[in-house]
Chains A and B, each alone.
Chain A
Amino acid sequence: MIICAKIKVISAPVAQQIERSRPKGKAAGAIPARGTKMSKPIFRKISFSLFFIGLGVGLLLATQWKVRPTRAVSLIDPYLSLKNTNEKLSQEQSALKNEIAELHKNNSQASRNLKENETETKGKVEILEQYKKEIGLVPLNGKGIIIIMDDSSLGDITENSIAHAADLRDTVNFLWGKGAKAISINGERVVASTSIDCIVNTILINKTKITNPFVIMAIGNQNEIFDSLKDSNSLSDIKSRVSEEGLKFEIKKEEVNIPVFNGSFLVKNAKSIN
Chain B
Amino acid sequence: MFKFRDYLIISLISLTLGWITVRQFDLRRRVSELTKPEKSESLAIEVSSLVEANQKLREEMNKLNQSYIKLTENSDNQTSAKQEIEDNLNLYRIVSGETVVGGSGLEINVQEKLEKPQLIDLLNALRNIGFEAISFNKKRVIYNFSFENTNLNPPYEFRVIGDKNLIRDSLKRRGGILEQINAKADIRESDNIVAPAIN
Contacts and interface: CB of A to CB of B under 8 A. Distances in A.
Contacts of A24: none
Contacts of B147: 173, 177
B121 interface: yes
B132 A208 contact: no
Contacts of B35: 75-76, 78-79
A178 B71 contact: no
A200 B47 contact: no
Contact of B101 (A104, A124, A273): A273
Main secondary structure of the interface of B (DSSP, over half): helix
B118 to A, nearest CB: 11
B38 A200 contact: yes
Interface stretch (B24-32, B106-114, B168-176, B182-190): B24-32
B60 A79 contact: no
A135 B64 CA distance: 16
Contacts of B41: 200
A169 interface: yes
A252 interface: no
A53 B17 CA distance: 8
Interface string B93-129: 1111101111110000000000011001100110110
Contact of B40 (A82, A97, A99, A264): A82
Interface of A: 2-3, 42, 45-46, 49, 52-53, 56-57, 59-60, 63-64, 67, 75-76, 78-79, 82-83, 85-86, 89-90, 92-93, 96-97, 99-100, 103-104, 106-107, 110-111, 113-114, 118, 120-121, 124-125, 127-128, 131-132, 134-136, 166, 169-170, 173-174, 176-178, 180-181, 190-197, 199-202, 204, 207-209, 263-274
Interface of B: 1-3, 5-6, 10, 13-14, 17-18, 20-21, 24-25, 27-28, 31, 34-35, 38-47, 49-54, 56-61, 63-65, 67-68, 71-72, 78, 81-82, 85-86, 88-97, 99-104, 116-117, 120-121, 124-125, 127-128, 130-133, 141-149, 161-162, 194-195, 197
Closest 5 CB pairs of A and B: A177-B148, A264-B60, A56-B17, A200-B42, A207-B53
